[in-house]
A = this chain, B = another copy of it.
């Protein structure tokens, strides 16, 4: 019964891509640890770029400069 939380910046991930993440990480837990997929939960959090920082500045600022 694993629980996986994936956090990415909100920059246009499609529903299909999110389905692929859910399916892929569930299969990974089945393959590596023999976990039951029926009780494997995955939650994807999409975070605004203003609210995600790396290197001491927000991703919004980082994207604007590069």
Contact = CB atoms under 8 A, between A and B. Distances in A.
Contacts of A2: 6-8
A3 B37 CA distance: 16
Contacts of A32: 17, 20-21, 24
How many copies of this chain does one complex carry? 6
A2 B13 CA distance: 12
Contacts of A25: 4, 25, 28, 53
A55 B2 CA distance: 11
Contact of A56 (B23, B51, B53, B58): B23
Given A3-B6, A27-B56, A45-B51, 4 more contacts: A37-B55, A41-B54, A42-B52, A43-B47
